[in-house]
Amino acid sequence: MSVATHLGLADPDGEVLALAGQRWSRWQMSHEELGVVEELADLPAWLRAADWDEADRVLLALAQLSAPDGADDVAATTALAWVLLPGASLLAFRLGRLSPRIDEILAAQLWVEARTFPWQRGHKVAANILMNTRKGVMRDLGIGDLGDRTIPFPPSAQVWTEAAPSAHPAGPTAEQELLDILELATSKGALSEDDGEMLLSLARAADAACPARSGRGHAGLMAPAASEAVAADRGVSARTIRRRAARSVSALRTVCGTDERASA
């Protein structure tokens, strides 16, 4: 079963969403931000085209309508959870190896986060709900934080337009996960694009070399065969490559929040 199925949201024309659709025009009267579309059914498409700030204002209105200390309308919780399903589905896909019940656990947590989002001081609604959903799932499974590598997602990101299984049919490969981390690090300015390309080249070279000793904490990136191959391609010394790689790996650890755990 999917996250959507556990929430009763797999059918956009089903009874669960019908009430939210019926109340949409009433919500628009009290929250002008929702006037961006005439029908709730049109909201996902609008979110995909909207910029982050515009989408955030709409989602915040839904969060206020949903919250017990707001309008306390569970139909709004349904609507908010529904438009967050693409991101939640990707989370379930990424965390699927942790539990055979991951869809059920994540669906329950997504509902809680959509229902209780702190709308009075809230911002980046989609990103924070998804991030808190992930943290809640990890907590429920008794697993420590693995680093928030897969979120936040702006509503305009590709995750909102593609279902997770079609993005990675056989599951995320090691290279894809590395690309995700590098994308996060470069977006935060922790790495330059050239540093990211160098690390990816090192990872490929290390995989091809299959080093018997990978080097503590560097997964083979510091192996002589890998650094020498990349150095030759770039026209610099292997020592320079290893020095840059060490700095870049340190930056990745900082971005992913792993420094403290690695030294513990």
pTM as predicted: 0.61
Last residue of a domain, one of 167, 195, 217: 167
Q: Are residues 93 and 157 in the same domain?
A: yes
**Model pLDDT, residue 187:** 63
Residues 146 and 183 in one domain: no
Assess contact for 84 and 11: CB atoms under 8 A. Answer: no
Residue 151 has a pLDDT of: 42
Assess contact for 248 and 199: CB atoms under 8 A: yes
Same domain for 163 and 81:
yes
Domain range for 190: 174-263
Residues 151 and 180 in one domain: no
Whether residue 110 sits in one domain with residue 14: yes
Cβ within 8 Å of residue 96, ≥6 positions away: 102, 171
Read off the pLDDT of residues 210-257 as tens digits, 9 standing for 90 and up. Answer: 544 444 445 567 778 888 888 888 888 989 998 998 888 888 777 665
pLDDT per position as a tens digit, 89-133: 878 877 787 888 999 999 999 999 999 999 998 788 988 898 899
Residue 87 sits in the same domain as residue 163: yes
The domain boundary residue, chosen from 133, 167, 201: 167
Q: Are 155 and 88 spatial neighbours (Cβ–Cβ below 8 Å)? A: no
Q: Domain total for the chain?
A: 2
Question: Which of 126, 150, 167 marks a domain boundary?
Answer: 167
My answer on whether 143 and 239 are in the same domain is: no
